[in-house]
Amino acid sequence: MRGWQLAAGVSLVLAVAMTSRAQDKFEIFGGYSYVRALESVAAVQLCPGPPCPTQNFSTNANLNGWEGSIEYRPFHILGFVADFGGVYGSLNNSFSNVSLHRNTYLFGPQVSWPSRVSPFAHVLFGVAHESRAFGGVTGGFVFNSVSDNEFAVAVGAGIDIKVIPHVWLRAIQVDYLGTNFNSNFQSQPRASAGVVIHF
């Protein structure tokens, strides 16, 4: 009888351990994202008659939106992430009627340290799509509407905190986000936070 109980106990422990490991294979993140975008734009100055001069501007935009990702973790600390995001806003200062939105589609490896407070870091590569819409004459200039797809990279790290079984809080994720719009490389910060589900 004791042998049967021992065998049943060992089987139960192994089953729970295997289930726990399987539950750690995937995680889904969803939450808020902020990007301080650097924009290089060309505009045509209003003048009495054509041709009118073109001027280039460098300005910033505070973009707010969402980020979501799914990670498959075949190894204890190493996983692979598919990360998607969309942020929206307008150019700053006197160009506030030029609206802007940006979507990112990024993929790459992520290293995590599994614990109740779990730091992680990743390097992601992919594509960014940007649309800029003009809403009228701004500061004596006419801006062209633009839609473009370019290479993008994100290098970053963050911290997840366990709240209840299978549910974690992504307290902060900070990325260096690089894009290459208008033939100029933009280096800009991205910050995100939200909820992570492990299964």
> What's the pLDDT score for residue 91?
80
Could you tell me which residue, 55 or 148, shows the higher pLDDT?
148
Instruction: Residue 175: name the closest of 137, 121, 104, 126 by CA.
Output: 121
Question: What is the H or E stretch that residue 6 is in?
Answer: helix 2-23
Q: Name the average pLDDT for the chain.
A: 84
| C-alpha span between 82 and 72 (Å, rounded) | 9
Could you tell me which residue, 132 or 171, shows the higher pLDDT?
171
Report the phi/psi class of residue 95: left, alpha or beta, with left for phi > 0 and alpha for psi in -120 to 50. Answer: alpha
**27-58 per-position pLDDT tens digit:** 999 999 999 998 877 778 888 777 888 877 77
- Ordered by start, the domain boundaries in the chain are 24-198
Domain 24-198: assigned CATH number: 2.40.160.20
pLDDT score of 92 more than 60: yes
Q: In this structure, what token pair is assigned to residue 22?
A: 């399987």
**166-194 per-position pLDDT tens digit:** 999 999 999 999 998 877 788 899 999 99
Q: What percent of the chain has pLDDT over 90?
A: 56
Q: For the chain, what is the largest distance between any 2 Cα atoms, rounded to a whole number of angstroms?
A: 101
CA-based radius of gyration for the chain: 23
> What's the pLDDT score for residue 7?
47
